[in-house]
Amino acid sequence: KAGVTQTPRYLIKTRGQQVTLSCSPISGHRSVSWYQQTPGQGLQFLFEYFSETQRNKGNFPGRFSGRQFSNSRSEMNVSTLELGDSALYLCASVEGLSPSTDTQYFGPGTRLTVL
């Protein structure tokens, strides 16, 4: 099976712009989670989608949003970019249909730099 695909791998934006990141999960997986990784805050959960519905959300401002399509591909969007949004954004493809069996497999990430 192919792994998790994230595009683009690298992105440079300026403050105030918006950005959209894409994630294609492993075939057959219906759930996707997103995380932000920074040197200062570490790995933080953004949100999770299952069957096109957001089921869980982390403590991020409303500038961070996401969606999932019927083919399980997911996008996340950050509007009005700030310098502090510079980070590695990781998507995880979730195997399993319940918390007792779920296992997350991560993509290579998108490195976002905000200037």
The residue (of 18 and 69) whose beta carbon lies closer to another protein is: 69
> How far apart are alpha carbons 38 and 40 in whole angstroms?
5
In terms of DSSP bridges, do strands 87-95 and 31-38 run parallel, antiparallel, or are they unpaired?
Answer: antiparallel
List the one residue from 13, 20, 58, 79 that touches another protein (CB under 8 A): 58
Smallest gap from residue 6 Cβ to another protein (A): 8
List the one residue from 25, 29, 33, 85 that touches another protein (CB under 8 A): 33
> How far apart are alpha carbons 36 and 98 in whole angstroms?
23
Smallest gap from residue 103 Cβ to another protein (A): 6
Q: Which residues, other chains included, contact 100 with Cβ-Cβ below 8 Å and sequence gap of 6+?
A: none
Token pair for 44: 């933080």
> How far apart are alpha carbons 42 and 51 in whole angstroms?
28
Smallest gap from residue 17 Cβ to another protein (A): 24
List the one residue from 7, 12, 18, 43 that touches another protein (CB under 8 A): 43
Q: Looking only at Cα atoms, what is the longest distance across the chain?
A: 42
Q: What is the binding site for another protein (CB under 8 A)?
A: 4, 6, 31-33, 35, 42-43, 45, 47-50, 55-56, 58, 90, 92, 94, 99-109
